Every structure is written in C-alpha cells, then in structure tokens.
C-alpha cells in the first residue's frame, strides 16, 4: 500500500495522555511514525486541525447476521461502523443460530475480515442456544477466537449455571458478559416501573431487577474468582454495587451505552417505539448516576449496544414492539456531547471508546503508537450534524436519537492503513 502522511492533526492517545498537534505516517498498514517523518511517494492528507485518535473499539453490539439478515448484514453493519469511526466490534452471540459452535464463531470472524473495513470479535454463547441451561463448549469456542462468553441480551438467570460459567471461563482466561436484569422480575415489562409507565398503561420493570442480578453475580465472582462484566448498566444502585466490588479488588467490570447517559425515560414520549430499549430508559436521577460513574472510572467502557430492528419490529403498539436501537454511527457523537457538556475530558471520553475496551478484550488496538496497527478515526470536534433515521449509514435505522443535534463528526476512518470511510 502507498504510505499516507496525515499532517496538521490533533493527535489524541488516551492510553498515553498524548494531546498535541502533529503528523502521523502510515506505512504497510501500521503506524510508522508520530513525528511526521517523510516517506517517499507518500500520499499527504492535511487534517486541518481535526482530531486523530485510535479507531473506536465497540465491545457490545448485535448484528443481524446470521439469521437476521432482513434487519442487517455484516456488510451493512461494517458500513455504519466505519462511518462512526469504529474499527473493532465485539459481537453478541444471540443470533439465529446462536454462536455456540466453533464453526459459527470462525464464520463471523471471516465475514468481518471480508469487509476489509471492520474486525469482528464474536462472544461465544455461554449456554447452548443462549437458552440459559447447558453450558457451551468454552474451550472449543475460545480456540476458535471467542472474545469471551455471553448469552447476549438474555440474562443467565440460573445462579448455578452462572457459577459454573464463571469458573470455566476463568480457566480459559475469559470473562462472562452478563445482561444485568433479573429475568423473573423483568418478565414481559416494557418500561421502567413508576409514574410514567403507570400513566402510559405499560407493564413496568422495577429498577431493582438490575441491582439484584448485579449483587448476585458479584457474590458469584467473589466465590469463583471469575471475571464478570456487566453490559449496558443503567441504574445508580447497580453502579454503587459495582463501585464497591472494584474497591474490594474483585474481577468485576462494566460498560454502559449512550442512551443511558443521554436520554431518560421521558424519551418514550407518546409510545415512541424507537426509544424502547433493553434495559428500558430510566428516570433522570439514574442518567446522572451513569454520567458520574463515567467520570469517576467506575464504568470501564462505552459500547454502542447496537441492536438493529426493521420497520415491522417497531411499527407496533409500544408493548408489542421489539426493544433495541441502532448505535454504531452515533457512538462517538453522543459520547462527545458529554465532553461538550463538561462532564468528561476529551481524552477520558475517548479512552472509554478505545484503549479501555481494547484492554478488556485483549486486543492489539486502541493506541496511537509506532508499530501499532493503523486503525484510526479522524473527526472534527465541533462540526455539527443531526441524526436522521432513514438517512443513517447501514441498513437498520431504528435510532433512539432520531432528530438529535450533535457536535463531533467523523471525517475519515482507516483500517489497517486503508481509508475505509470518507465524509
């Protein structure tokens, strides 16, 4: 490949604290220099002061393929990810069929490679069929490339099954990624239990359903020494438990997703199904608790929690509509809103999107360093744009942020030194 020299960029590397104007040279798919060293025949790109950071690492996303290609394919998800500055995605296993077989894990990895723009890191199904009963073959899945183990958007509800999963995963140096919602309490609810759900006539899910399962699994992590990672944490009570577990030194980590620090339960409005998510949106006190946990380091990563749905899934009465929202193209923009709002520094915000999730997933990613893969995101920090469902990149359009004005626009994405997106 022809070398590329990106000049006049604001270089941002949260792993080292780098924040300086400079140049970066890409050669043979890797970062060759951060000192602007010339290379014969290099293509020169003038960043005009735009920010250049590592490509984003999304540690929690659902993709329709296999089995849900009517909602989204790996190719269409890659298109949306590239437009959002994302170069690595950890994929949830609750597809159809579930990723409980080594051949399926290898299939997803290969399909990601075939796009040329995204690296996919599938989680193996913790239980066969993600049904919560019989454990999958962890050793074979790990050998095939599984990034960890999870039942996706389904909680592992049985305590004995979760104990065994944590023990076995520990033996393979892997974590269990748990959907933190006690199944018998969540039931068939569709909104957070409280005044708003009552007024709208919607079956409620008590906020305690999250904290109860988090408390149980922290106890199991203490018992087994296993690593439990809680996905899309959304309540202050659960975050208090996780904060205390970390102070105790337990192998407990977590992520959250943009809806839980940018929206509250009022976003469901008059039965707005694009804002029906799992877990459901919370009262504003919980949103503020999530923001505080981002700032104090309790939360380890921000994930897109991308869940593609098609029109037939959402154009239904609220209670019957499928939960989930797309988030690949908006991951950076919504996160930067917390920077513009003064809640996070720019480096801290980017760290939650790059090197911190990369560390959890044990990836060679998320850093601006000589010799590192040239997976890069170039963005203009103050450039405004508006989220418009129907005009987003990719196939699925069910964004809970439809109509939201944002500052922070991806201008280019590089994967292994090749420019795979240009605004």
Instruction: Using alpha carbons, list the distances in angstroms from residue 88 to 50, 57, 81, 329, 376.
Output: 22, 5, 9, 13, 11
Q: How many CB atoms lie within 10 A of CB 80?
A: 28
Tokens linked to 189: 């609810």
* CA 35/CA 46 separation, integer angstroms: 15
Q: How many CB atoms lie within 10 A of CB 55?
A: 28
* CA 172/CA 143 separation, integer angstroms: 9
* CA 239/CA 282 separation, integer angstroms: 14
DSSP string, 128-183: GGG-SSSB--HHHHHHHT--SEE-TTS----HHHHHHHHHHHHHTT-EEEE----H
143 forms beta bridges with none
| Cα end-to-end distance, the chain, whole Å | 22
Alpha-carbon torsion 129, 135, 139, 145, what sign? positive
Instruction: Using alpha carbons, list the distances in angstroms from residue 407 to 48, 321, 338, 401, 411.
Output: 17, 31, 10, 13, 13
Considering 305, 313, 375, 402, which one is annotated as catalytic? 305
Nearest C-alpha neighbor of 57 from the set 398, 373, 355, 308: 355
Q: Annotated catalytic, 305? A: yes
CA atoms within 13 A on the CB side of 123: 35
Asked if 127 and 151 touch (Cβ cutoff 8 Å), the reply is yes
406 forms beta bridges with 385
R_g of the chain, CA atoms, integer Å: 20
Tokens linked to 115: 């796009």
**Which positions are catalytic?**
305
């Amino acid at each position: 490949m022809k070398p590329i020299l990106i000049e006049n960029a604001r270089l941002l590397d949260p792993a080292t604290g780098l924040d300086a104007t400079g140049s970066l040279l890409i050669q043979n798919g890797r970062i060759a220099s951060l000192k602007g060293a010339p290379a014969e025949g290099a293509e020169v790109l003038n960043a005009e002061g735009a920010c250049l950071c590592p490509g984003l690492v999304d540690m929690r996303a659902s993709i329709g393929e296999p089995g849900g290609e009517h909602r989204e394919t790996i190719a269409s998800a890659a298109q949306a990810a590239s437009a959002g500055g994302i170069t690595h995605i950890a994929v949830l296993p609750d597809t159809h069929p579930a990723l409980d077989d080594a051949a399926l894990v290898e299939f997803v990895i290969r399909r990601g490679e075939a796009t040329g723009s995204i690296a996919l890191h599938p989680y193996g199904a913790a239980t066969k069929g993600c049904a919560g009963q019989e454990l999958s073959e962890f050793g074979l899945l790990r050998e095939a490339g599984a990034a960890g183990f999870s039942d996706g958007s389904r909680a592992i509800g049985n305590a004995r099954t979760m104990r065994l999963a944590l023990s076995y995963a520990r033996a393979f140096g892997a974590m269990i990624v748990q959907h933190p919602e006690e199944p018998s309490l969540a039931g068939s609810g569709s909104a957070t239990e409280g005044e708003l759900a009552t007024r709208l006539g919607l079956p409620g899910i008590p906020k305690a359903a999250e904290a109860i399962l988090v408390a149980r699994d922290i106890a199991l992590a203490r018992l087994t020494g296993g690593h439990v990672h809680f996905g899309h944490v959304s309540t202050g009570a659960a975050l208090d438990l996780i904060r205390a577990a970390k102070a105790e030194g337990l192998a407990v980590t977590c992520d959250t997703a943009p809806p839980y620090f940018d929206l509250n339960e009022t976003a469901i409005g008059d039965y707005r199904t694009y804002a029906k998510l799992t877990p459901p949106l919370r009262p504003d006190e919980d949103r503020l608790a999530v923001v505080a946990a981002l700032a104090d380091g309790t939360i380890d990563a921000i994930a897109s929690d991308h869940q593609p749905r098609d029109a037939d899934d959402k154009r239904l009465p609220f209670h019957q509509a499928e939960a989930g929202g797309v988030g690949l193209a908006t991951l950076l923009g919504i996160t930067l809103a917390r920077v513009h709002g003064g809640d996070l520094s720019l480096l801290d915000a980017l760290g939650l999107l790059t090197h911190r999730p990369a560390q959890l997933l044990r990836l060679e990613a998320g850093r601006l360093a000589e010799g590192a893969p040239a997976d890069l995101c170039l963005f203009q920090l103050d450039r405004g744009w508006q989220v418009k469902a129907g005009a987003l990149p990719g196939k699925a359009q069910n964004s809970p942020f439809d109509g939201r004005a944002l500052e922070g626009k991806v201008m280019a994405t590089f994967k292994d030194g090749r420019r795979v997106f240009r605004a």
